[in-house]
Amino acid sequence: LRTSGSRVEQFRKKLRVSEIKEGDGADVLGRDLVVQGWINDGSCLSNMQCVLNSEAEGYDQVESGLVTTGASVWVQGVVVKSQGSKQKVELKVNKIVLIGKSDPSFPIQKKRASREFLRTKAHLRSRTNTFGAVARVRNALAYATHKFFQENGFVWISSPIITASDCEGAGEQFCVTTLIPSSQDTTDSPVDAIPKKNDGLIDWSQDFFGKPAFLTVSGQLNAETYATALSDVYTFGPTFRAENSNTSRHLAEFWMIEPELAFADLNDDMACASAYLQFVIKYVLDNCKEDMEFFDTWISKGIIARLSDVADKDVVQITYTEAIDLLSGANKKFEFPVKWGCDLQSEHERYITEEAYNGCPVIIRDYPKACYLLLSSFDIKAFYMRQNDDGKTVAAMDMLVPGIGELIGGSQREERLEYLEARLDELKLNKDAYWWYLDLRRYGSVPHAGFGLGFERLVQFATGMDNIRDVIPFPRTPGSAEF
């Protein structure tokens, strides 16, 4: 559809194939179109069926076998009613031009490739229907995230990726290393100064220009600094965890959405988390119909109905103590025994959301701050969580969803300086390292609360994809950073 005009006008005149195929296609019937794309096996969702006969210009290239799966083409033709049942309209081709031919080794061929195989072809798997649909739904969820927070008066804050502080205090950080040429006689040219591999000039110093630094595990502490100035804020960016977890819900690099609400308590936090989840789920149901139907048919039967329920019903809220009662009364044998003070394991979380609450999201609040054993106890909750008056629990909450477990973790923050200092001591964390965080409690401290949502787990929840490695374009898991 490109016509003359400025570059921007031309760009705007580009239609997506989905727009052409929408409805019964009546408004585009008979129209002359130019389509550019890649040849696929016909199963792709953003597919435009192109039919050509021997009269079409360029047909000789097709006949000689040059236009194969994976090749890129320019095609011009007329939109006609399709003879087939799979699509309403198709393109009757007048002219085809091969832009880039595809080598016969193109690995994504007609037969259904396994997800494991496709992970080894992460640079090409985006051309399959599944990964195309995941990318579009992921995009819609990101857009809906900004839309929700922007429409509710939150300010987006970029939190740093390199930081010296450990938000979770769990020591699961990747260390930052500076690459410095060790030779003294470096030239003035910055290009020449870049060390080349194996030239013997590289000094791998274990620090960030002489200071320790890590990749961030969470932007929360930084978000708190802005929340205690601008009121409600949120972050949305990559975070990193050096945990050696090879599960279907853990990544070493994942994206987190972290709202932080000022003048707010745990109830406000839970209300925000529920409203956010309902908003983004409704958004994809309304705006990604074709992709959602694909997931419903091929990936997770009934997902549209289940998500519609989530969008309509309020999220259940129970206390940790109620959760323990529920688990103790369950007619089920758990691998890990259930006792007040135990850390909930994923089998417990799954029972609560999948069985006790029949597949609905559930928020559990007021967790014990420590895991109490017969003769000892160890702390399980982060230093920044506000202590409840009972002295045993903290104002923390997790939202659990079926199939995944923990989707959201949040809390009301400890805004009382003396409690926070005592807690840092109790956990044997270095108070000096948190001096700036403590300052927020010195200068106009206010009750505030927030949460973190793992974006990839949300994409899993919305698509029904069972492995987290398949909902991020280039997954980073232990030992895997090739692409």
- The smaller minimum CB distance to Mg ion, of residues 409 and 450, is found at 409
Residue list 357-416, contact with ligand 4AD (CB under 6 A): 406-411
Q: Are 259 and 230 in contact (CB under 8 A)?
A: no
- In the complex, the smallest distance separating the C-beta of residue 445 from Mg ion, rounded to whole angstroms, is 24
Segments in 415-469 forming alpha helices (H): 417-426, 435-442, 455-463
Stretch 441-470: interaction string toward ligand 4AD, x if CB under 6 A: ---------xxxxx-xx-------------
Residue list 144-203, contact with ligand 4AD (CB under 6 A): 167-168
Q: Are 247 and 456 in contact (CB under 8 A)?
A: no
**Segment interacting with Mg ion, rule: CB under 5 A, options 92-100, 274-282, 402-410, 435-443:** 402-410
User: What's the first-to-final CA gap in the chain, in angstroms?
Assistant: 34
CA distances from 274 to 154, 270, 277, 311, 325 (A): 16, 6, 5, 9, 24
Residue list 295-314, contact with Mg ion (CB under 5 A): none
Alpha-carbon distance of 169 to 248, in angstroms, equals 24
Plot region of 479 (φ>0 → left; ψ -120 to 50 → alpha; else → beta): left
Q: Is the dihedral of CA 168, 169, 173, 176 positive or negative?
A: positive
Stretch 255-294: interaction string toward ligand 4AD, x if CB under 6 A: -x-x------------------------------------
CA nearest to 410, candidates 399, 420, 423: 399
Stretch 355-394: interaction string toward Mg ion, x if CB under 5 A: ----------------------------------------
- In the complex, the smallest distance separating the C-beta of residue 455 from ligand 4AD, rounded to whole angstroms, is 8
- Closest residue by beta carbon to Mg ion: 409
Q: Which of 254, 283, 295, 434 binds ligand 4AD (CB under 6 A)?
A: 254
323 binds ligand 4AD (CB under 6 A): no
Alpha-carbon distance of 162 to 98, in angstroms, equals 46
Give, for 269, the enclosing helix (H) or strand (E): helix 266-287
409 binds Mg ion (CB under 5 A): yes
Which residues of this chain interact with Mg ion, rule CB under 5 A? 409
Which residues of this chain interact with ligand 4AD, rule CB under 6 A? 167-168, 218, 220, 241, 243, 250-251, 254, 256, 258, 406-411, 450-454, 456-457
